[in-house]
Structure 1
Amino acid sequence: MSSLFPTYQRWDVHVKSGKGTTLVDTNDKEYLDFIGGIAVCNLGHCHPTIVDALKKQAEQLWHVSNLFEIDGQEQAASVLAENSSGDYVFFCNSGTEANEAAIKLARKHTGKQHIISLKNSFHGRTLGSMAATGQAKIHEGYGTMLESFSYADLNDLESVKSLVTEETAAVMVEVVQGEGGVRVMDATFAEGLQALCNEHSLLLIVDEVQTGIGRTGKAFGYEHFNLSPDIITVAKGLGNGFPVGALIGKAHLKPAFQPGSHGSTFGGNPLAMAVVNAVLTEVFNESFLNEVVNKGKAFENYLNEALNGSPVVKEVRGLGLIAGIECHAPVADYITKAREKGLLVLPAGPNVIRLLPPLVATNEELKKAAFILAEVVTHQKTTV
């Protein structure tokens, strides 16, 4: 009998090891992992460079708290700022914490409380980030949410405009709604949103927890659009499995986050920073990111080729190496059958199969996944 709170609906798979794109369970069955810890293991499992960086740091220093200068923070912050629209970085432990920090920073800087986010968004499970999340099922059972959030529709600029008031501090968006069905922002909407924020002096917050650190073929997903966010939040791929998150903000926000205004006991500790710096060295490399772009295009082609003509599939969509397959019926059984065939994928809502392959996946592995899914949804044998 487990002593754990039953907060997770767990699968009947007991993983014992992982390497690259492959997981192995306790029965020695191998799985092609296209979940990657939910967009976390962008460099795959047990990447040797990341393992070496963590081992080296573990033998030198684990933790001293933010009372001390931590050289790894300065190094990582410099790289994040150089590769984004931001200038300063705050390190924390997760995407939820990064989004909580973003909400606090926006409110403190502007002196206003109202923030517009989007329906079907997902920003976390603390009370602030949960309130920012535009999904009623996430709010259920927790009483009154922070009342300072309103929810607009993705790709409907008029719905955003209708919610702007004199008390609006910021607009908070994802360029791809991962949990919300792998729905991608339109370029026209992005351009209009940036203009709206400029016109009304609203802060633009872009949640890059799932799309950042190379996932879309850019350092950050917003780079595909005409956006210049004031605040960017990242986590997941930033640590490749080590718990870490970060808020990146423009220089004009610096006065709002002075000593005592915000903090984290573990945020940016030496272990996390050793991993982050190793990850950024690997990912923020032009040739690596170009490969992700090419793989993303190839993956889209493989999926469309394999699923072409399927009466089950409504649409294939995504950006880079985040893909969603929307079906005309619930996908839970398809996900189970894919797992039985050795492919791990996950849902994004009841009718969408979400795929988050490691960025180091080969074209052969991407093609294999596409044809396994084709077998699952058509019940016909296909040839890779």
Structure 2
Amino acid sequence: MRVLAALSGGVDSAVAAARALDAGHDVVGVHMALSRNRDEFRSGSRGCCSIEDSNDARRAADKLGIPYYVWDLSDEFHDTVVKDFLDEYAAGRTPNPCVRCNEHIKFDTLLERAQALGFDAVCTGHYARIELRDDGVRELHRAADPDKDQSYVLAVMGPDKLARSMFPLGTAQSKSQVRAEAAARGLGVSTKPDSYDICFVADGDTKGFLQRSLGAQPGDIVDESGVTVGQHDGAYAYTVGQRRGLGIGRPAPDGAPRYVTEVDTTRNVVTVGPETLLSVTRLVGERAVWLAPDVPATEPVRCAAQVRAHGTPVDATVVRNGDTFEVVLDEPMRGVAAGQSLVVYSGTRVLGQATIAARRT
């Protein structure tokens, strides 16, 4: 097959491309330039789209002996991922930009361009497994290494995109194994630190980024009875379940810690309360993506629900209705926010994904 390997400049994508070569595919490397400031260098190990990463990707492609190109997707990235991030926070929700990047950039724009150029598949360094059943159904599964598993952020891609994707690192037993393989292949990125946090927030200060982008919007912090207990500079900078950085001058009457229980950007009010108010047992997801065509769509299905990239799954029941589904949890979850990605599993298999629209006790 003709395979387009997305080279981020890190060790994972380089080894994934190497494994695709070993499998006998005709591989071409491409680096997606996502930053509008192409002269920017990374700070420590943050980020994944700087000029430094582009150079590292080029050196990896040269070592592998494959053609290499840089595609400027900075406008698409800003207009979809960054704009969605700001819009969601401005609406009082908590988005996951990695999910949106996979949806709009890596497995939408990139796949569309790859297909137009005659490639059969896109190869990335994500940690997840694709299993092909005898009946032709492709299943998305958790990676062999649970600590590196990225099936949560990939669940948004849908069956059509899954059919044109390759994840060669899904069977890797550990990141140390991947680094050792990179070193054995002579890839200079074998010891490169992992990128982390949000790639377009270079200094890791998400609150500062939001304030610079959305401006100061002073308002009240109130308790569960509506009494003002503090002030904030913008309700958008808070998320349900948050405890630190509230700046509340007075403690709760019983001395118990306070948590953010609601963010209302329409009224510009942040509500805080005791930990007991954070628990929910029902979640409603919108913009649902279902990756299991063999699983009944409208009948209750037993599953495990996960709301964070490395969160603990909770046993549950899901019922899907068109582009929405509702999940009833066997035990309460704490600190769930609207805007988070809700992924449901059957064992290691991803059944579907949706964006949380409502939480119910």
Give the TM-score normalised by structure 1: 0.28
Higher relative contact order (CA 8 A, sep 6+): 1
User: Comparing both structures, which one devotes a greater share of its residues to strand?
Assistant: 2
TM-score (norm 2): 0.29
Larger Rg: 2
